[in-house]
Amino acid sequence: MNGGGEGLAAPATSGAAVSPLEWKFSQVFGERTAGEEVQEVDIISAIEFDRTGEHLATGDRGGRVVLFERTDIKDHGGHRRDLERMDYSISRHPEFRYKTEFQSHEPEFDYLKSLEIEEKINKIRWCQTANGALFLLSTNDKTIKYWKVQEKKIKKVCEMNVDASKSMENGAVASSMSASSKPYLANGACKDRPVSSPSNDTSFPALHLPVVVTSQETSLVARCRRVYAHAHDYHINSISNNSDGETFISADDLRINLWNLEISNQSFNIVDVKPANMEDLTEVITSAEFHPTHCNTLAYSSSKGSIRLIDLRQSALCDTHSKLFEEQEAPGSRSFFTEIIASISDIKFAKNGRHILSRDYMTLKLWDINMDSGPVATFQVHEHLRPKLCDLYENDSIFDKFECCLSGDGHRVGTGSYSNLFRVFGCSEGSTEATTLEASKNPMRRQVQTPARPSRSLGNLPRVLRRGADNSGADANGNSFDFTTKLLHLAWHPSENSIACAASNSLYMYYA
pLDDT, one tens digit per residue, over 232-267 is 999 999 999 999 999 999 999 999 999 999 999 999
The residues of the chain scoring below 50 in pLDDT are 1-14, 74-90, 166-185, 187-191, 193-197, 445-473, 475-477, 479
The partner residues of 449 in beta bridges, in order of sequence, read: none
DSSP 98-131: EEEEEE----EEETTTTEEE-----EEEE---BT
Give the pLDDT confidence score for residue 160 in this predicted structure: 62
Domains of the chain: 24-156+216-511 (2.130.10.10)
Burial state string for 292-322 with b = 16 or more CB within 10 A and e = fewer than 16: beeeebbbbbbbebbbbbbbbeeeeebeebe
Gap between the terminal Cα atoms of the chain: 23
Residues shown for the chain: 512
